[in-house]
Structures are given as structure tokens and as C-alpha cells.
Amino acid sequence: MTIFHGFNISASSLTSQRLRMDVISANMANAETTRGTMVNGEWQPYRRKMVVMQPNEKQSFAPFLNKAMSGDQVGAGVKVSGIIDDRTPFKLVYNPEHPDANDQGYVQMPNVDPLREMVDLMSATRSYEANVTTLNASKNMLLKALEIGR
């Protein structure tokens, strides 16, 4: 375990949560976008994106516990394994005057729920803040350790 191991773990989480906040912001910005992507020559509404995170090390619980009990390095942070599309169906809204309305007057709207996005944004923000606090605590411990030598 290096002296900067805690910094590396916090930094990986800060980077992942920042990307998560960026994706949520993109979802909110496109909540009314009816022409998000072209599929087979036809416009499809914007489809909500989600960030998938995973541990940097894939382990079962037993090896993780054994490492922790022996005093070895435990954990290596998180990483983003991908950004996936939410496959929930689009919302249908009746608006016959809209240029993207079908023959019955319904418009396919994105599957973005602003309330759900705000809850996800609050969760990502809290995780980011917690990791900043952890980073600052690690920094303060290292500064105190340096003061011992004075």
C-alpha cells in the first residue's frame, strides 16, 4: 500500500461521479428532444443514458476479506465500464400540431423523467461530496504526519 492509495481511490470515484453528473445533465437537457438519433432513415427521440460503474478489481468477498485481515491493500476504487441506453419505452403525448406527430396525432417523447434525473443527480452530488471529504481527510492526515518530524 502506498501513501497515495487513498488519494487514488477517491480520485477514481470523483472522476466517475463527475461523468455521471455530466450524463444526467445531458439527459435533462434533452428531456424534450424528439429528434435525437436517426434510425433507419427516421428520427427517434432522445433515449435516456445511464452510467455503469464497477470496482477496479473484480473479486469475490472471501479474497477481499482475507486481504483486509492480513493488512494488504484492499480496494482499488471504481471505474466506468460504460454508458448504456435506458430501454424503457418512449412516452406518447397527444399533440397533432407537432411536426413529429404520427397519423393519430401522437408524438413520441424521450424516456427521460426529470424527477428521476434530479434524484440521480442528488445521489451523484452526495457521492462526490463524500469523496471530497475523504480526500481532504487523507490530505490532513498526511500533513499531520509531516508535522511530526518538525
Residue 59 falls inside a structural domain: yes
| Stretch 109-121: mean pLDDT | 96
101 within domain boundaries: no
Closest CA to 83 of 30, 26, 130: 26
Question: Terminus-to-terminus CA distance in the chain, angstroms?
Answer: 25
Count: domains in the chain: 1
Rounded CA separation 81/58 (Å)? 12
Mean pLDDT of 4-16: 89
Of the candidates 4, 1, 17, the residue with the CA atom closest to the CA atom of residue 139: 4
Q: In this structure, is residue 55 part of a structural domain? A: yes
12-40: pLDDT as tens digits: 999 999 999 999 999 999 999 998 888 88
In a domain, 67, yes or no: yes
pLDDT of amino acid 77 = 84
Q: Is residue 13 part of a domain?
A: yes
pLDDT category, 1, cuts 50, 70, 90? low
pLDDT of residue 62: 76
- Per-residue pLDDT, averaged over 44-71, amounts to 80
Predicted local distance difference test score (pLDDT) of residue 59: 65
The rounded percent of the chain whose pLDDT value lies above 70 is 91
Residue 77 domain-assigned?
A: yes
- Assigned domain for 142 exists: yes
The answer to whether position 90 is within a domain reads no
Q: What is the pLDDT of residue 36?
A: 85
Q: Which domain holds residue 24?
A: 5-31+49-85+112-148
